[in-house]
Amino acid sequence: MRPAALDWSVDNCTIARAMVILGERWTLVVLREVFNGVRRFDDMRVRTGIPRQVLTNRLTALVGQGVLRREPYREPGSRLRHEYRLTEKGLDLWPVLVAVLGWGDRYLADPEGSPLSVGHRDCGAEVRVTLRCADGHEVDEPRDVLPRPGPGAHRRTP
């Protein structure tokens, strides 16, 4: 049986476009740090072990894509530096990181568990990502979701 997905083009796929921004190995690690409140270059470099030039490149790319913004700061007696803050576009990636964390916790955590958890600020309960359809139904099984052409889909020409 021929998959229906072969009938439409993926040339303008937004997953592929997102992976241009997010797909490099260190990008989600940098975002994890910023979401955790680690916003300064040296703190990130020491905490993660990311090579200096790689971290510079990742931060530059994330600023260039509008995911992070640079905010100036100056420690007493030091030169002007910048820390990195999430933009609205960056904050919208939080569910992605929570989903990756959940997947990693399920399949990759050490026997004693994950070194990171996320909780609801108001009640303290653990936060996890759930899928819902536009009518509000929770979708528990991946096989209950059907990929289909979106409004920007183009018919593939043979």
CA distances from 13 to 3, 56, 128 (A): 17, 28, 26
pLDDT in tens, 78-133: 999 999 999 999 999 999 999 999 999 999 999 999 999 999 999 999 999 999 99
Between residues 83 and 156, the one the model is more confident about: 83
Domains of the chain plus CATH, in order, are 4-139 (1.10.10.10)
Three-state SS string across 42-64, please?
Answer: HHHHHHHCCCHHHHHHHHHHHHH
Question: What is the value of pTM for the model shown?
Answer: 0.87
